[in-house]
DNA sequence: ACCTCGCCGTGACAGGTGTCACGGGTCCGC
DNA sequence: GCGGACCCGTGACACCTGTCACGGCGAGGT
């Protein structure tokens, strides 16, 4: 009995390469590949895979959202997240979204097939180093609105621009920013964006 | 006669996956894999590959530097750059560093093997869409010093911090920044960093 | 010799930014 | 009910930033 796989990654090259890698295993079979999170549920409904490999960073619906959608619409398929960035917040959010495993792209290729098999058996697969980081970093201290403001500040927009985008007063934007800067122990808006991004809070 | 390949990518998973993908082709053979740019020359000297696949983003010596080192020390091996980001400046700098081909990770997996074969035959391989972007974006308008200052400003450092890092007067830093902001058509330091990064000028 | 360009610095100025104190509003849990 | 969050807003203040004008220096081209 082979394990049926669905691959989701926006980079066609690594998608195909992963397919080739996993296709070498006799007990694994890649039944579908998609390039964006929006196509995941549809492909899962038609091909009924046992395990779905999701990249976190994708255009449109990202891997976290796709995992949540799969949990609701196709609960029989297990989700294994595969990501380039080992951001602590990603791990937490992925598990909350119903993912059964979380692997960073630094892990040796040989271990990926094992991770797939374990997920298929109903086990949790988590990078141990990342798990400690996740506990250490803790949940996001930012309020929803602070997160919005920081997100809107990612491209270097001015206070006036952010205020216009979120339909807020400039003073309110400055207050939210100031609060976020304090919580991230930054001295600066740009620094706050950076550390928040590194922790997966955005 | 098989084509001997050397893979260089910091992400072990995609490195292994690419090896699996290319290993499926009967005329290709992966003879070595490395995880950083510093190991490229040494591995090339011992394994004498025909073609070397280099990722641009790597810790230590990056792909551009590794390509230049290969051109000088092991000129018999052709270089094919493989990168996630299609930044115009990367393409230019890669070609200047002696790379024979440039492929972004969005390209379909089937075309990678062809790219390798063409590079091995002495042909140039360049993503056509990226080539036009490269011509359109043009060379970096930033002077060396302006580039330094922008690089130092990437983590959101204040003018005082940048001045301390580069051993400059704060006024000079502000002047360089102002000039860079003007050249990148930005309204802001953060914006200037962003557009400079997107064009591969840093 | 001359001009140009990049580099470094100074001084001054308007405007943006970060902080604080304050008020008012909603919603939730004890 | 009553405190405690989060949200939104105002006003004021010190500070940082971005811009401009100006000067001097060295390297390279005509």
What residues of A are in contact with residue B112 (Cβ under 8 Å)?
A: 13, 16
Name all protein residues with C-beta less than 7 A from any atom of nucleic acid chain D.
A 143-146, 168-172, 174-176, 188; B 158-160, 171, 174-175, 177-178, 181-182, 187-189
pLDDT along chain B (202 residues), means of 10: 94 95 95 95 96 95 94 95 90 91 93 95 90 77 94 95 96 95 94 94 90
DSSP-derived secondary structure letter, A31: E
Asked if residue A42 has pLDDT above 80, the reply is: yes
Instruction: Read off the pLDDT of each residue in A129-134 and give the average, rounded to a whole number.
Output: 80
User: Please, which pLDDT band fits residue A50 given cuts at 50, 70 and 90?
Assistant: very high
Q: What percent of chain A has pLDDT over 90?
A: 84
Q: How far apart are the first and last CA of chain B?
A: 41
Task: Count CB atoms within 10 A of the CB of residue B183.
Answer: 17
Task: Give span(s): CATH 1.10.10.10, chain A.
Answer: 144-198
Interface test with A, best of B14, B25, B114 (most A CBs within 10 A): B14
Q: Check: CATH 1.10.10.10 for A144-198? A: yes
- Strand A28-34, strand A3-8: pairing: parallel
User: Please, which pLDDT band fits residue A37 given cuts at 50, 70 and 90?
Assistant: very high
> Are the C-beta atoms of residues B127 and B39 closer than 8 Å to each other?
no
Asked if residue A142 has pLDDT above 90, the reply is: yes
Distance from the B30 Cα atom to the nearest Cα atom in chain A, whole angstroms: 14
Write down the pLDDT at residue B133: 79
> Are the C-beta atoms of residues B198 and B87 closer than 8 Å to each other?
yes
Residue at the smallest CA–C1' distance to nucleotide C10 = B171
Write down the pLDDT at residue A86: 86
Q: Check: CATH 3.30.70.100 for A3-136? A: no
pLDDT, tens digit (0-9, with 9 covering 90-100), for B87-132: 988 998 999 899 999 999 999 999 999 999 999 999 999 988 888 8
Are A108 and B12 within 8 A, CB to CB? Answer: yes
**How many angstroms separate the CA atoms of B175 and A177, rounded?**
27
Write down the pLDDT at residue B134: 78
- H helix or E strand, kind and range, residue A132: helix A128-137
Distance from the A105 Cα atom to the nearest Cα atom in chain B, whole angstroms: 5
Write down the pLDDT at residue B152: 96
> Are the C-beta atoms of residues A181 and A190 closer than 8 Å to each other?
no
Write down the pLDDT at residue B128: 85
Are A109 and B12 within 8 A, CB to CB? Answer: yes
Write down the pLDDT at residue A67: 95
Write down the pLDDT at residue A117: 96
Mean pLDDT for all residues in chain A: 93
> Are the C-beta atoms of residues A195 and A184 closer than 8 Å to each other?
yes
pLDDT, tens digit (0-9, with 9 covering 90-100), for A55-77: 999 999 999 999 999 999 999 99
User: Please, which pLDDT band fits residue A132 given cuts at 50, 70 and 90?
Assistant: confident
pLDDT, tens digit (0-9, with 9 covering 90-100), for A88-127: 889 989 988 999 999 999 999 999 999 999 999 999 999 8
Name all protein residues with C-beta less than 7 A from any atom of nucleic acid chain C.
A 158-160, 171, 174-175, 177-178, 181-182, 187-189; B 143-146, 168-172, 174-176, 188
Task: Give span(s): CATH 3.40.50.2300, chain B.
Answer: 3-136
């Amino acid at each position: 009995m082979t394990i049926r796989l669905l691959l989701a990654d926006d980079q066609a090259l690594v998608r195909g390469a992963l397919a080739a890698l996993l296709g070498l295993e006799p007990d694994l079979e890649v039944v579908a590949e998609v390039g964006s999170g929006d196509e995941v549920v549809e492909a899962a409904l038609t091909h009924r895979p046992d395990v779905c490999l999701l990249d976190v960073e994708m255009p449109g619906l990202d891997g976290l959202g796709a995992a949540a959608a799969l949990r609701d619409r196709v609960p029989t398929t297990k989700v294994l997240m595969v990501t380039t960035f080992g951001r602590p917040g990603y791990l937490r959010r992925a598990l909350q979204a119903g993912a059964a495993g979380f692997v960073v792209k630094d892990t040796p290729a040989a271990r990926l097939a094992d991770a797939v098999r374990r997920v298929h058996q109903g086990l949790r697969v988590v990078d141990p180093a990342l798990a400690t980081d996740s506990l250490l970093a803790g949940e996001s201290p930012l309020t929803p609105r602070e997160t919005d403001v920081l997100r809107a500040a990612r491209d270097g927009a001015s206070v006036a621009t952010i205020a216009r985008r979120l339909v807020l007063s400039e003073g309110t934007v400055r207050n939210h920013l100031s609060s976020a800067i304090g919580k991230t122990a930054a001295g600066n808006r740009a620094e706050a964006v950076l550390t928040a991004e590194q922790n997966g809070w955005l």
